[in-house]
Amino acid sequence: MPTYHYKCEKCGYEFEIEQKISDAPRKRCPKCRGKVFRVIHPVGHILKGSGFYATDYRKEDYKKKKATEKDDNKGKK
């Protein structure tokens, strides 16, 4: 199931939700009931083939985080 990323226009709250492609998009913020819009991640390869799913983005993000953590540890030593 693809994961969609939403952001609230009103309070700026961001959340991710797993939805079937056939499901209707979310329209309301769970916090303030304001209007939300879907955030499309600006990743070039994401539109190619089945890689459309947000998991690709997350993997990259995870790698980046790991790298940052390593740098942090170095700094502490």
Return residues touching Zn ion (CB under 5 A). 8, 10-11, 13, 29, 31-32, 34
Calpha distance 37→63 (Å, rounded): 27
Q: Output the smallest distance, CB 58 to Zn ion, in A.
A: 23
Q: Output the smallest distance, CB 43 to Zn ion, in A.
A: 25
Q: Output the smallest distance, CB 2 to Zn ion, in A.
A: 22
Q: Which residues touch 5 (CB under 8 Å, ≥6 apart)?
A: 14, 15, 16, 38, 39, 41, 54
* CB of 31 or CB of 65, closer to Zn ion: 31
Q: Are 16 and 3 in contact (CB under 8 A)?
A: yes
Q: Which residues touch 72 (CB under 8 Å, ≥6 apart)?
A: none
* CB of 31 or CB of 58, closer to Zn ion: 31
* CB of 14 or CB of 61, closer to Zn ion: 14
